[in-house]
């Protein structure tokens, strides 16, 4: 299959992007200033990201759809207000995570943002589980961009007025060039920001306007360092089919009300794990010094026993040091537990730490 290009490909080229193939798309890993500068610019000003490779799944339906989706997602969807969003996951019957996602209630049904590498499988799985009862569109005619960082609200508001009134994890339809765009106040960098779903033919124009107003394009390289500093999981690395939301330390995203009923796919495993605990759990890991422990690095306890593995690790430009996440045996998951990381045959000291590595409070909006 040919590698796809997003509608911003030309703009990426104009901005000297270095491309990589990611989930079947030519995506910019960085632009001329490089990952560290792009990362810092996002934290201090505003970065704009092309995330058009991600899936935008619209499912149309009313109360029956809500009931059917509650059999799939561990969310209290009947009480999810119009234009409000929740982080969730698609699980298999063993509660293994097939994908993590953001689901938003829109007036005609739901909009679900899916990972690029999983979107086609997710579509098939959902279609099957929903017995083809509802109209589902994995929309290839819309692009998705994110604008993230403290100046983003002001910049986007200059182009599309009143977006700054949105609250965190809520959205609405706005107009840009007489086109309907759906904007949510959300993101995946640990910064205040927005994600904008816009028809393909207009995304280039909107993105160039945001750059004119002071935002800068930021590639997937900095997106990865930003999300890792923010303690956020990357599917295929920190999350996969062999890990449950409880093991991934994401139980905050599971509705308590829904657990008490236990009527969603994977709920029996989730309830068992919540009651009995888990053997492995996701933790933050801070290496001492400058050593970078990357994915698949083995973790050992003080008695040199193998207790886990790193799932994401890099250098955090805002933390100005190495940062990592991984899974360790539950008894070694307490904050400040000393562990050792095997890098190139040598063991280096590290400690278990709380997430995120970098914290900034999300803007709650005007209210």
Partner 1 sequence: MSEVKYSKEHEWIKLDGDVATIGITKHATEMLGDIVFAELPEKGSSVEKDGTAGVVESTKAASDVYTPVSGEVVDTNQAIVDDPSKINQDPENSAWFFKLKIKDVSEMESLMNKEDYDKFAKENA
**Residue 176 to residues 164, 243, 338, Cα–Cα distance (Å):** 15, 41, 52
Please, what is the minimum distance in Å from the beta carbon of residue 290 to partner 1?
Answer: 5
Among 15, 23, 36, 271, contact with partner 1 (rule: CB under 8 A): 36
Verify binding: residue 28, partner 1, rule CB under 8 A.
Answer: no
Among 65, 292, 341, 350, contact with partner 1 (rule: CB under 8 A): 292
Verify binding: residue 125, partner 1, rule CB under 8 A.
Answer: no
Q: Is the peptide bond before 258 cis (omega within 30 degrees of 0)?
A: no
Among 93, 133, 135, 290, contact with partner 1 (rule: CB under 8 A): 290
Among 98, 314, 318, 337, contact with partner 1 (rule: CB under 8 A): 314
Looking only at residues 188 through 247 of this chain, which bind partner 1 when binding is defined by CB under 8 A?
A: 221, 224-225
Verify binding: residue 106, partner 1, rule CB under 8 A.
Answer: no
Query: HEC string of 249-315?
Result: CCHHHCCHHHHHHCCCCCHHHHHHHHHHCCCEEEEEEEECCCCCCCCCCEEECCCCCEEEEEEEEEE
Q: CA–CA separation, 141 vs 99, rounded Å?
A: 22
Q: CA–CA separation, 308 vs 234, rounded Å?
A: 18
Looking only at residues 336 through 355 of this chain, which bind partner 1 when binding is defined by CB under 8 A?
A: 344
Verify binding: residue 317, partner 1, rule CB under 8 A.
Answer: yes
Per-residue mark of binding to partner 1, 247-286 (x: CB under 8 A): ----------------------------------------
Is the C-alpha dihedral spanning 146, 152, 155, 159 positive or negative?
Answer: positive
3-state SS class at 366: coil
Verify binding: residue 35, partner 1, rule CB under 8 A.
Answer: yes
Verify binding: residue 322, partner 1, rule CB under 8 A.
Answer: yes
**Sheet containing 179-184, strands listed edge to edge, beginning at the edge strand earlier in sequence:** 171-176, 179-184, 193-199, 142-148, 47-50, 216-217
State the residues that interact with partner 1 by CB under 8 A: 29-30, 34-37, 39, 221, 224-225, 290-292, 294, 314-315, 317, 322, 344
């Amino acid at each position: 299959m040919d590698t796809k290009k997003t509608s911003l490909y030309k703009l990426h080229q104009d901005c000297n992007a270095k491309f990589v193939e990611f989930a079947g798309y030519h995506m910019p890993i960085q632009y001329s200033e490089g990952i560290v500068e792009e990362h810092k610019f996002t934290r201090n000003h505003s970065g704009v990201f092309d995330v058009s490779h991600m899936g935008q799944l619209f499912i149309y339906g009313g109360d029956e759809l809500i009931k059917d989706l509650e059999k799939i997602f561990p969310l209290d969807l009947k009480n999810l207000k119009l234009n409000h969003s929740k982080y969730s996951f698609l699980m298999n019957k063993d509660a293994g995570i097939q994908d993590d996602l953001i689901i938003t209630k829109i007036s005609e049904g739901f909009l679900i943002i899916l990972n690029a590498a999983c979107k086609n499988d997710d579509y098939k799985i959902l279609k099957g589980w929903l017995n083809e009862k509802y109209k589902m569109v994995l929309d290839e005619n819309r692009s998705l961009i994110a604008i993230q960082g403290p100046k983003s609200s002001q910049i986007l508001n200059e182009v599309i007025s009143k977006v700054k009134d949105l609250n965190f994890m809520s959205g609405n339809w706005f107009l840009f060039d007489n086109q309907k765009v759906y904007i949510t106040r959300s993101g995946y960098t640990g910064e205040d920001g927005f994600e904008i779903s816009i028809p393909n033919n207009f995304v280039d124009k909107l993105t160039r306007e945001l750059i004119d107003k002071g935002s800068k394009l930021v590639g997937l390289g900095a997106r990865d360092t930003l999300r890792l500093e923010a303690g956020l999981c990357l599917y295929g690395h920190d999350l996969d089919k062999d890990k449950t939301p409880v093991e991934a330390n994401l139980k905050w995203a599971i509705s308590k009300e829904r657990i008490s009923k236990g009527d969603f796919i994977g709920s029996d495993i989730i309830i068992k794990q919540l009651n009995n605990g888990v053997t492995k759990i996701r933790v933050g890991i801070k290496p001492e010094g400058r050593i970078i422990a990357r994915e698949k690095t083995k973790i050992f306890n003080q008695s040199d026993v193998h207790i886990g593995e790193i799932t994401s690790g890099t250098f955090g430009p805002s933390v100005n040091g190495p940062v990592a996440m991984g899974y360790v045996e539950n008894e070694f998951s307490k904050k400040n537990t000393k562990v050792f990381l095997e890098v190139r045959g040598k063991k280096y000291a590290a400690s278990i730490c709380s997430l995120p590595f970098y914290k900034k409070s999300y803007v709650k909006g005007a209210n």
